[in-house]
Every structure is written in structure tokens, then in C-alpha cells.
Structure 1
């Protein structure tokens, strides 16, 4: 719809010009619409899988504020490389249907996105002089079960998405749809982090 609206507006600029202007307008429309089509998946089923993946990424990011609250109260470190490596190794081992390098890059990006969200929230809370949270969750009881459900769901859809990434325009399409389906907190920094490393043009 965005491409259609843009092409319509641009073509109207030439509507009051002679035939040469109309020819140029038609040529402009063809190029613009071709560019829009190149950003879209070839099949509706592919688009649905992309939306499913991005929705799951957003749901995982929604857990980050809970983790941030728990670590704010406990004083726990947001960056914990040894523990992060253990978790990442376990997740990659679980993703048997994926290329291990791709799986590692994808889940590292999700870890980085979560940390970006947590660090941003902690910076805001320090600036606000925030005290302890009364509703901070328990990481083991409240957070881990949610992540344990999201991880296999992400792996399942990634098995379908990974082959699609070779399609022309697919990475650009995923990046475009992410701005609709993935939260844009902190000027979109966590969202950008979630796509880094595994999504390549």
C-alpha cells in the first residue's frame, strides 16, 4: 500500500504535462512497482512465516523488561559472557535442523537485543532515581519458562525461514516488516540488534 500511494503521488506530478511527461510517469511507475515487488516474498505462505518469526522475536523482547527489573533489584550484571555462552551452546545444540553458524548468529542477536533493552531501561531508571521494584519477577519461576517456550518455537520457524533468505529482496522485506511487528523501544536499538549478524542483504 505504501508503494502504491507513493507511485500514485509521483505519477500525478506528471499528469498535467504533455505526452512525454506521461510516458516518463508510466516509466517511473513501472520501476517503482518493480522495486516494491522485489521486497515482497514470492508466496503468501513465505510472508506468513516472516510475520510469525518477527512476532516471536517481539515476544522474546517483551521479556527483557522483566529481566531488567529482576536484575535492578538484585544488582545482577546484565552482561555475563560465561553464562551467556553456556546458554547459547545449549540453544544451538537444541537447533538440530539449523545450520549451527546461522543458529548461533541468530540467537546471539536475540541475546544482544535483550541486553540492549535492559541496559537502556537501567539507564532510564538511574536517571529517574528509581528505587526497588515491588513487582520484580523471579527469573527462574517467571522468566525462564517463557523463554523455554519461545526457543523451540523460534527454532521451528527458523527452519523454514533460513532457505528463504536466499530469495532476492527477502532480507530487505524482513527488515521492513520488523518495523511493523517488532517493538521500537529506545529508538529501535533492540530491534536493530535482533536482526544483526544473521540477516544479510
Structure 2
């Protein structure tokens, strides 16, 4: 099976957003300010096509098999997310009419895998591993550093995969009052 990974384009929103929403669950309600799936989807597609937030196509990579979207990686640096989340907080606060705070998901000086998800049709074929390896290659090309992600504490299969790829649990983490593990891998420069 030939897997290609490329930068996302705005037109990938329709295929990418349902996968991202599946991966992040209730967080999608928080970052869109919506509660119904149809409205969450519409708002998420809007955020995806914009350039000023963490779920923009600019920070997204698409895995394809035979021209079909098979997986998604959302990836950025801790430094980038400061401005991206400030923009999102302002947007959501204006939308809701009350202040909105986005929970931090990364520590300073980390490269962060916000989301990695594989379409159910393609699971078990190594696409998730390819996306994680791609993120590692990006970090190498940027001069190396810490590659981090958060995983829900009950997702034992994902935790096992991350452990096999040399991620280590650094500390417990909380996102929208839910327990996660913050996992980190040190990546050398090219």
C-alpha cells in the first residue's frame, strides 16, 4: 500500500474535519462554541479554512492512499500556539459574548502533535505510525527538539503505540476537565 503525506489544502476540510472531530471528541464543542454535531462540523470547517487558529489547514497534514484521505495530522510548535489560541479565544469570546479560555496542551519548547487520526477504513495498516514518523521528520528538519502529544488515559492501544515509538509519559495533563497523559520524545536534528 502506497501512503503519501502532504500539506493540507482548504478543500480537504470536508474529509479531514469528521476525522479530527472523532479524534478529539468533546474538545470539538469547546473549540467551536457549538454543541450540535452539524453546527460543530460547519464551524470546524470554517476554522480549518482560516489561517489564524490551531486547526487551520496550515498546521494540518493529510495522509492519502490511492488519492483518498486516509489520515490526518495536526502539528505545530508551542510558540505558534500562543498566538493561535489567543486568536481562537478572541473569536470564541466574541461569538459567545463571554470570555472563553482554551486549555493549554503543550509545554514551552515543544513541537506538538495536536491530533493524529486514521480513517476507520484504513486502520491497522500503519498509517498512524507513518503520520507520527512524519511529525518526527518535521522536528528533525526544524533542528530537533521535543515532540509531544496528549493521550486520554484510557486509550491503552494508543499509549502502547506511542511507547513503541519511544514516547515517554512525562506527566498527567487535563484538557476540559478530562485526564490525559502528556507524552514526549526527544528528536535529534538532521
User: RCO (CA 8 Å, sep 6+): is it higher in 1 or 2?
Assistant: 1
Identify, as 1 or 2, the structure richer in helix. Answer: 1
**TM-score band, normalised by shorter chain:** under 0.3
TM-score (norm 2): 0.24
TM-score (norm 1): 0.23
